Structure 1
């Protein structure tokens, strides 16, 4: 079996790569991550995450597993202790670099979902969104923003379009949702 075959999602199965915080955040965001994990499981989907077991990253995986979803974590060796690797995942892939991490997460996923997060979450979102816009993949890229966490960023992005630095089509390549059900429906599109 080739590496691509091992890292590709199951035929016809929705596998959502969730980007989110792996550091302490307000409890409402941890609950949101749990809701996403629970709903992924209820739909019979799989989860790919950054492989940490704390904060939002840990909660989305715990709730997905608790509901019967298969979970895959991908974590760089240098972050195994810092992000406290989730040893309960069905498959934990330990890699050498962040670039390898993102590549394996991308290969496993049929859709990408960013929850509220910080600069790491934004970096992952921007990379996968840019590659979608450039036609390097056709997988849905969804931003779940139930409380305006990304409001300033979205305003700035609209300003980039108005100033001519980005096209309206680039913004349309990102689906923004304000509730979990809508976000996950978009992941299945």
Structure 2
């Protein structure tokens, strides 16, 4: 037994951090002073309304900069402001333009009320709505494309029937409202150009 080698037990290891093997950014924020964070949040909200930058206790902390309590929380990413300019959207009616034998078409009267209280009337064909839909699909980021409603279907055989036109008017009004009243999509370049064209 003298020749027996004494084996040492391995030293007690510290338990591993639960996210030690994570490749994603995980930050554990220690003991936040909730009252101080609420005060900072109120100051930043007031600053966003006045378009001024408020410096907090940290010289590197400001609107659009990390919070003084964590380098990973960005307070300026979303101000809650809508980029859209429309307050209400209605398609009040339609008109047939031209002679049916010569290639008549339907024009929809779009009445858009702005946030400032003025009204914009634009006259658009179904093909104009389809062109806007295609442009939004081509230019919007992938995460915003899920907010685009489906376009109302075409129906070449009944395109001049009043019941079909009334149904299409309601569907186009819903579709256009979902675009113009969306807080991110409603003010994009494609929409503004479509309104002004």
Q: Aligning the two structures, in what range does the TM-score lie when normalised by the shorter sequence?
A: under 0.3
Which protein shows a greater Rg?
A: 2
Report the TM-score, using the length of structure 2 for normalisation.
Answer: 0.23
More helix by share: 1
Report the TM-score, using the length of structure 1 for normalisation.
Answer: 0.24
